[in-house]
Chains A and B, each alone.
Chain A
C-alpha cells in the first residue's frame, strides 16, 4: 500500500480525505486505483486525452516522477505519493491613472549644455526647418540651440535605433553617433525603417548615415563599425551626452548600463518582444540603474530574442520613439523624465502601465558601496560561454548531415521550433517537439536513436540538447546554424526566415 496525499481543492472529490491508502506497484497503477475509487478525481487530474493536466505534478516521496520513470516509476510499500498543484499567475496590463514623480522642470543637461548652447547659432535655413519647434515655448530658440549642441549615441541601428535616429535627426540633434557592425538583410526591413531595400547586403552604418544626411544635412553623423565591448565602451561613450540602448541581448545591456554609470551619463533604455515593450531612463546620478532593477541576468536561453521569438514590426517604432522623446526631453531639460519609472507597453491591449523603480542602496555599481568599479566580462557574467558560439562536439554541419542522410544512416530528426515555424519549412521526416515541451515529452524519444536536433538558427536546439543530456540521452547532435543554414547550404528551394 502507498499513501496518496490529496491537495485541499481535490478533497471534496475524495470523501474529504487528506490521505488515501492505495495498492499498486507503479505510479500509474496507484493513480488508476485512486481514480477508480473516486471517479470524480479523474477529470481534475487528467485531460480529455488522458494525459496528466498541466500544473498537476506527481511526487514520489520527494521526487518529481517526471524525472524518474513517470507513470512506470516503481512504488514501494509505505511510499508517499503527493499530488501537487503548481501555482502561478500575474497581473494583466490594466490602465492606470498617471503617476507624478514630483520631478518637474528638471533640467538635467541645462547646466552642462547651457554655455555651449548659447554659443550656437541657427542659419535662416535652419530657422525655417525648425519653425514648428520654435513656435513651441518649451523649445523655442534656446531649446533648438540646445538640441544642436547635444550629442546622442545610439547602440545599434536596428528596430529601436532606426526610428530613434530618424526622429532625433529630424529634430535637429547636432551630433548622432551609431555603433553597429551588422549588414542589412531582408528580414530587417519589416521594422528597421531607416534602411531601404537597395541597402540589402551593405553595412547598416553606411545605410543609416546616408538616410540621416538625406533627412537633415545639419546633423553630424559619426559611425563606429565595431562590436561594443568592455575595451571600447568608455572611450566611445565619453564624448556623448546621452546613450540610447537599442540592443537585444543581455551582455550588451549590462555593459551599456555599467559604462553609463561609470561615466555618469543617462542611458535611455528600450526593449521589445512580440507585442510588449519596455522603456526607462537609467541615470544613476538621479535614480536607479538597470542593475537596481535586474541585479542578475536571466539564465542564457530563457529569454528569447526577436530573431527567435519574433516581434510585431511597428512595436520598435513605438518604443524607439519613446526613447527619442526621452532623449529630447533630457536635452531640453523639460517635463518629467522617465527616471525611476519603467514604462510597460502592451500593443495588443493598447495599454501603458508604469512601475516605480527604486534605487538599490546595495546595487553593485551605483549603490553606496559599489563592488564593480570597472567594466567586466559581460559574456561570462551572463553565463554565455564561448563554446556556445563556436563548434562543439555535438555540432553537426548541414553538409555533414546531408552526407549522412544520403548514405542512408538512420538519424532521428527532432525539430524543437514552434508549430507555426514548422509550417514555414521543415526537414522531411522530422518530428516536432517545441523546446519548452522537450523535457516533458522526452519519453517519446529513444536514447538508442541517433538524434539530430534543429531549430531556426541553433540556439534553441542547443538548449534542447542540454535538457536531453540531463535526462541521460547521449547520442545527440545539434544542427549548426539551424534550418536557415540548411536552406542556405543544402536546399536552396527552402525559404529562410
Chain B
C-alpha cells in the first residue's frame, strides 16, 4: 500500500532533516487513510524532545505533542497517519531501536542525511506482530 505526498511536503521533510543535522529531526504527518490509499496532506514538524546529547541518534515526540497534533488533525478533518524522522549519516530504514518503539499501522518515513545534505527517504510500516518493518512505496505527486 503506497503513501502519497506532494513534492512540496517532501521538500519540507528534506529541509527539516538538513536543518536538524547533526541531530535527528522528527515530525507528525496528517492525512487521510482510505484503506487502499493513504495520503499526507500536512506536516507538523516537532522539536526533538530527547536529551540534547542523545539527539544525534534518538528522537522523541511526547504525548502532549501528540495530543496537540491530534486536536489539530481533527480541526482539519484529518488523522495522524504517521511520522517522519531523520538518521544523520545512517540508513533510510528503521533501526532496531525504531522497531522497539514503533506502532503498527502508522507510516514511518525515515530520511538519510549525509554530510549535512538530504540524501534519500523511504517509508515503512511495522508488521502487526511487531517483528519487522515492510517498506511501502512513496508516490510523489
Give chain A's interface residues, CB within 8 Å of chain B: 5, 7-10, 12, 18, 55, 57, 59, 62, 64, 82, 84-94, 96, 99, 293-298, 302-303, 342, 344, 353-358
12 A-B interface contacts by CB (under 8 A): A7-B80, A8-B33, A8-B106, A9-B106, A64-B63, A87-B66, A89-B59, A89-B95, A91-B88, A344-B57, A355-B88, A356-B21
Contacting pair B90 A89 (CB below 8 A): no
Whole-angstrom distance between the Cβ of B85 and the nearest chain A Cβ: 6
Cβ B116 vs Cβ A88 within 8 A: no
Partner of B70, one of A5, A86, A358: A5
Chain B residues contacting A353 (CB-CB under 8 Å) are 89-90
B116–A92 contact, CB under 8 A? no
Contact B96 A59 (CB under 8 A): no
By beta carbon, the residue of chain B nearest A302 is B51
* Range of interface residues on B (Cβ < 8 Å): 35 or more
Q: Which of A9, A344, A355 contacts B103 (CB 8 A)?
A: A9
Known: A86-B61, A87-B66. A96 touches B89 (CB 8 A): yes
Given contacts A294-B53, A355-B89, 18 further A-B contacts (CB under 8 A): A5-B70, A8-B106, A57-B66, A59-B63, A64-B63, A87-B83, A88-B60, A88-B61, A89-B26, A90-B50, A90-B54, A92-B96, A93-B90, A99-B89, A293-B22, A355-B21, A356-B21, A356-B89
A355-B22, A355-B89 known; A90 vs B105 contact (CB < 8 Å): no
Chain B residues positioned under 8 Å from A293 (CB to CB):
22
A59 & B67 in contact (Cβ 8 Å cutoff): yes
B21, B52, B97: the one within 8 Å of A89 (CB): B97
- Asked whether A89 lies within 8 Å of B101 as measured between CB atoms, the reply is yes
Minimum C-beta distance from B109 to chain A (A): 11
Residues of B within 8 A of A89 (CB): 26, 58-59, 85, 94-95, 97-98, 101-102, 108
- Among residues of A, the one whose C-beta sits closest to the C-beta of B83 is A87
A248: min CB distance to chain B, Å: 13
Are A298 and B103 CB-contacts (below 8 A) given A84-B70, A90-B97, A356-B22? no
Find the B residue at minimum CB distance from A82.
Answer: B67
Min C-beta distance of A340 to chain B, whole Å: 10
Determine the residue in chain B with the shortest Cβ distance to A86.
B63
What is the bound-complex CA distance between A293 and B26, given in angstroms?
Answer: 18
Q: Evaluate contact between A86 and B66: CB separation under 8 angstroms.
A: yes
Nearest chain A CB to B46 CB, angstrom units: 9
Chain B residues closer than 8 Å to A8, beta-carbon distance: 33, 79-81, 105-106
> Do B56 and A344 have beta carbons less than 8 Å apart?
yes
Q: Are B58 and A88 in contact (CB under 8 A)?
A: yes
Would A91 and B95 count as touching, CB distance under 8 A? Answer: yes
Q: Are the C-beta atoms of B57 and A90 separated by less than 8 Å? A: yes
CA of A303 to CA of B50, assembled, Å: 12
CA of A295 to CA of B21, assembled, Å:
14
Instruction: Find out whether the CB atom of B57 lies under 8 angstroms from the CB atom of A91.
Output: yes
B16 at the A/B interface (Cβ < 8 Å)? no
- Do B63 and A303 touch (CB < 8 A)? no
A55 pairs with B33, CB closer than 8 A: no
Q: What separation, in Å, do the CA atoms of A94 and B57 have in the docked complex?
A: 11
Task: Give the distance to chain A from B119, nearest Cβ to Cβ, in Å.
Answer: 11
Contacts of A64 in B (CB 8 A): 63
CB distance from A313 to the nearest CB of B (A): 23
> CA separation between A296 and B51, bound complex, in Å?
10
Q: How far is the CA of A354 from the CA of B22 in the complex (A)?
A: 10
Residues from chain B with Cβ under 8 Å of A358 in the complex: 21-22, 116
A298 & B53 in contact (Cβ 8 Å cutoff): yes
**Chain B residues positioned under 8 Å from A295 (CB to CB):** 52
Pair B105/A9 contact, Cβ less than 8 Å: yes
B62 within 8 A of partner (CB): yes
Q: In the complex the two chains form, is A88's CB within 8 Å of B104's CB?
A: no
Q: Once bound together, how far apart are the Cα atoms of A353 and B67, in whole Å?
A: 35
B115 at the interface (CB under 8 A from A): yes
Which residues of chain A come closer than 8 Å to B62, judged between CB atoms? 86
Nearest CB in chain B: distance from A356 CB, A: 5
- Asked if B91 is at the interface (CB within 8 A of a chain A CB), the reply is yes
Give the distance in Å from the alpha carbon of A84 to the alpha carbon of B66 in the complex: 7
Is the Cβ of B58 less than 8 Å from the Cβ of A12? Answer: no
Of all chain A residues, the one with the shortest Cβ separation from B97 is A90
Bound state CA distance, A5 and B67, in angstroms?
A: 10
**A92 with B106: CB separation less than 8 A:** no
Look across to chain A and name the residue whose beta carbon is closest to the beta carbon of B60: A88
Within 8 A of A (CB), among B9-55: 21-22, 24, 26, 28, 33, 50-54
**Cα separation A55 to B63 with both chains bound (whole Å):** 9
- Which residues of A are found within 8 Å of B21, using beta-carbon distances? 355-356, 358
Q: A7-B70, A87-B66, A358-B116 are in contact. Are A92 and B79 (CB under 8 A)?
A: no
